Amino acid sequence: MEAVFQAPKRRARVYEAYEAPLPVPTSEQDVTQQHHLVYKAELLNNRVIVRDPSHIQALYNKGYFGKGILSRSRPEHSLSERWKSHGDIHLPVISYTRYQAQVQLAQDALQAQGLEEEVINQTLERLTQPVEPLTADSTGSKDRRTESGKDQVNGHEVPLSPQVKGDTESCEDTTLHVLDSSLEQSNPSDGLRSEGEDSPEAKRQRRQGNPDYDPLAYLYPDEPKQLDETALAQVRCVRHDDWIIHCGCRLRDSQLEAVPLTKGGVQDYEYVLVEEQQEDESIQSLGNANDRDSKTLVCRINPFRIIEHLQLGLEEAFFLVYALGCLSIYDHKEPLSIIQLWEIFRMVQPNFEATYAAYHYFRCRGWVPKTGVKYGSDFMLYRKGPPFYHASYSVVVERVDDSFKGATLRPFSWRSLAALSRITGNVNKELMFCYVIMPSNMTEEMLGSPECIKNIQVQEIILSRWVSSRERSDQDEI
């Protein structure tokens, strides 16, 4: 029986614009105007996590890869859904009970670090003090660092927490960070003073830009800007198939704007507006219940920040690494090769080569596959992305050989198959079986390399429930 393909159902309300199908340049014009940014992820507890906020937004907005670890889908977790203006900026509004819970979380985190009780109490006391009204220009200068290497909040020195001393890009398995933690920062203007007129460094001949030493001086006559090496390590050269930091070329102006400049790992404080009971004797003497319940908004520091990250599925992560080449995955600060990732993912997820082959197949045909675990399937197929259309198909992946025989991933009985078909129909989806056909000469040694994907074939079959009454009505019309 020939399958009848139904048009995807568009969502009634769409609140965003469609940016791009993939997080890489998709046309010749994009390739010439943009650099090919390589995003960074970490392998934690056999899960692929993206921490950088700009990388999170790029990967999700362009192709809808992954999901927020604190959200249903889009990584948009916020401390509160209510926001109000405070000076020149907008801040989240939380209740006093929620604020006390944040303080308790900060206290528990400090105690877990083995700090003394007196130090913990002093730190919490200074962090919970009300702060002065903020402006957009003062948010960055409000929290200064003293010469002793301590944070300064409203004139009070706050001792640094030892939790994140060191590299802020560490691969520790935690998403919760106490606010009063950072590295001791040196003044960025010190390097400029060292190269002043009286410094010997100013008299040294610089080879960069000097035509006697630099063959590219006619292209780059000026000295290069001071850029972070970690940012340069994520940018590819437009002339050579290599990283900018390795080939020695200079960045173009359009690329300079896209390279993030780090500030040494200093995290700005997160401010909140706390609803607190207004303490006024004149109000209490009136005896009006509505007046007594009046609350005022007090600007305070959130002592315990919960930062959301993006979690990628194994198939999604490997597609970004292998098919697009726009993702680099690190394990304990060491980049993993494609072969290493293939071996790790096969060890973590049984039959990974079959599920990835199906994922690769549907992605290459313009679909956006997302996990279908809540519908009892492997993938859900979306046109363009979940914000625009409802899922069209619920996909079950099966691995077979050339004769369509083989051990199934989930052995179906007639009862379980009928139940899955009924569930899929009740949510207005179609059930699709995706058969990943392995060649008969495929050996285990060949499966140890992702190059085996080139020899695998995929075939889809749409399964629909037969309804006798509908069949009789169709015959009567004929």
Show which residues are catalytic: 382, 390, 429
Best CA proximity match to 270, nearest among 306, 296, 298 = 306
d(CA 300, CA 270): 9
Token couple for 232: 């340069």
For the beta sheet containing 271-277, the strands, ordered from the edge strand earlier in sequence to the opposite edge, are 83-86, 89-95, 271-277, 295-301
The single-letter DSSP state of residue 121 is: H
Token couple for 85: 């203006």
Long-range contact list for 422-429, CB < 8 A, 24+ apart?
422/465, 423/375, 423/376, 424/375, 424/377, 424/394, 425/465, 427/375, 428/9, 428/390, 429/375, 429/380, 429/391, 429/392, 429/393, 429/394
Reduced to 3 states (helix: H, G, I; strand: E, B; else coil), residue 213 is coil
What spatial distance separates the first Cα and last Cα of the chain, rounded to whole Å? 17
How would DSSP label each residue in 369-420? EEE-GGGTSSEEEEES-TTTB---EEEEEEEE-TTS-S--SSPPPHHHHHHH
CA 59 to chain centre: 7
